[in-house]
Amino acid sequence: MTAHALQRKSVVASLPAMRLVAGKKPSVDDIYPRLFDAILEQRIAPSSRFTEESLGDTFGVSRSVIRRVLAKLSHQQVIILRPNQRAQVAAPDALQTRQILEARRLTEITVVQLACLHATAQHIRQLHELIARERDCIERDQRGPAIRLSGEFHLQLAAIAGNAPLAQFLNSLVPLTSLVIAQYEAKACTYCAWQEHRAIVEAVEQRDSASAVALMTQHLDHLENKLVKHHCT
């Protein structure tokens, strides 16, 4: 067996099996979280390379579906796509991580202020439901989905804020932060996140902008301290 075939086999074998629903072909929305979870759980190792064909075979979907999933992950900077090369998982260094979190801090202060103005009772329920799913994954030791859902909390909060450019900007930063958390195994960041998220939602529900900003800043400071520490060790 060639070295290329061995590498392809090792990557594909590590991915989760896809459960098919009778009469329904898996869509981009079905495949995206499964592939992202596999990356976050390092069943696809950092900096490893893989092909559309190998992923399509694994998930039982066409290359066009895989191509759209990879394009979404590329937009989020989780996957690096280059012409005539296989897709590669990103591996941000310490400087990139610090810059990502600086950009997030500046953006999410505005996001949480806007969320205090625009959040409805239904929005608050949706945020609490998302936090409950995040906590459930942590308690089940489902690390990849827990990290992904932790990131989705911030993206949902941005959607509630009602500013599309800010939401799009965060969509290019939050998944990449999730990747760094997974790669540096900063478990404490994940395990405390749902509690900090809940406190932020409570402040948003009360429309307490000052407290919401302080809690969000504290949350991101805590995350940065953990990630920088892991980069330096």
* Token representation of residue 197: 């998220």
Alpha helices in the chain (DSSP H): 3-13, 28-40, 52-59, 63-75, 94-118, 121-139, 143-161, 164-171, 174-183, 187-205, 209-232
Residues paired with residue 89 on neighbouring β-strands, in sequence order: 79
- Structural tokens at position 178: 């999730």
The pLDDT value given to residue 6: 35
Which of 40-54, 60-74, 87-101, 120-134 ranks highest by mean pLDDT?
120-134
User: Do the domains at 3-89 and 94-232 have one common CATH topology?
Assistant: no
Q: Domain extents for the chain?
A: 3-89, 94-232
Mean pLDDT of 86-111: 91
Q: Provide the pLDDT for residue 8.
A: 43
Q: Is 6 helix (H, G, I), strand (E, B) or coil?
A: helix
CATH class in words for 3-89:
mainly alpha
Binning pLDDT at 50, 70 and 90, where does residue 10 land? very low
pLDDT at 94: 85
pLDDT computed for residue 216 by the predictor = 97
Which CATH number does 94-232 carry? 1.20.120.530
Res 174 pLDDT > 50:
yes
Cα separation, 176 vs 194, whole angstroms = 19
The pair of structure tokens assigned to 102 is: 């600086």
pLDDT > 60? residue 45 = yes
Is 159 in a helix, a strand, or coil? helix
Which residues have a Cβ under 8 Å from the Cβ of 2 and sit 6 or more positions away? none
User: How buried is 143 (Cβ within 10 angstroms: 0-12 exposed, 13-18 middle, 19+ buried)?
Assistant: buried
